[in-house]
Structures are given as structure tokens and as C-alpha cells.
């Protein structure tokens, strides 16, 4: 059930970032056409919009990787760790055993 929930959440995030990248890219095109810059330092805003759209696209690639790994059942494991997997629990249990032996 958790795996299905994770796929649904990742698909929602994927659609959100697709929309963000699309809107940012076309907003950057509009900024570049009008030569829009900041008032004080006269820094053009179009490269910033293109940079943010590119970062959204990289996030989409990461989300696709997570979605495919969830669908194929490879990684990550969303189950709760067993006491043997939790190193803090193992080390405290081993310390307790060693103190009892002494």
C-alpha cells in the first residue's frame, strides 16, 4: 500500500514540476523578448527563469527515476527497519549483553 501511495505522490509532484518548468520557460521567453531587468542593478531576469526551468527539468528526471524504481519494486524500501537493521538498537543490545557477561 505504501508503494502505491509513493507512486501517486511522485506522479503528482511530476505533474507539478512539469507545469512549473513549462510556465517558467515561457515566462523567461517573455522576459527575454522585452529585455526585462531589475531596477537597481539592471540584471536581466530571463536567465534566472531559464535556470529555474532547467532545475525543474532535472527534478523531473529524479522523480521519473523514483517512479520507475517504485513500479519495478527495486528501491527504496519503505518498510520499517527491523531491530537488526537499526545499528543503534543493535549496538545498545550488544552493549547490554556484554555488560551482563562481565
Largest CA distance in the chain: 79
**73 pLDDT tier (thresholds 50, 70, 90):** confident
Residue with cell 537597481: 40
Report residue 77's pLDDT band, with 50, 70 and 90 as the boundaries. Answer: low
- pLDDT of 90 reads 55
**Residue 91's pLDDT band (cuts 50, 70, 90):** low
DSSP letters along 21-85, please? HHHHHHHHHHHHHHT-B-TTT--BSHHHHHHHHHHHHHHHHHHHHHHHHHHHT-S---SPPPTTT
What is the span of the domain harbouring residue 58?
Answer: 2-101
* Residue 74: predicted pLDDT: 80
Q: What domain count does the chain have?
A: 1
Average pLDDT, the chain: 86
Tell me if 25 sits within 8 A of 57, measured CB to CB: no
Identify the pLDDT of residue 1: 82
Cα–Cα distance, 92 to 45 (Å, whole number) = 55
> Mean pLDDT, to the nearest integer, of 72-94?
64
Give residue 81's pLDDT: 65
Q: What is the pLDDT of residues 19-38, one digit of tens each?
A: 999 999 999 999 999 999 99
Amino acid at each position: 500500500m505504501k508503494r502505491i501511495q509513493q507512486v501517486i505522490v511522485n506522479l503528482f509532484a511530476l505533474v507539478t514540476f512539469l507545469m512549473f518548468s513549462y510556465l517558467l520557460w515561457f515566462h523567461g521567453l517573455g522576459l527575454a523578448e522585452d529585455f526585462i531587468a531589475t531596477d537597481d542593478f539592471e540584471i536581466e531576469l530571463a536567465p534566472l527563469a531559464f535556470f529555474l526551468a532547467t532545475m525543474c527539468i532535472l527534478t523531473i528526471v529524479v522523480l521519473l527515476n523514483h517512479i520507475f524504481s517504485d513500479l519495478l519494486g527495486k528501491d527504496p524500501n519503505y518498510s520499517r527497519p527491523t531491530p537488526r537493521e537499526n545499528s543503534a538498537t543493535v549496538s545498545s543490545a550488544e552493549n547490554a549483553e556484554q555488560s551482563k557477561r562481565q
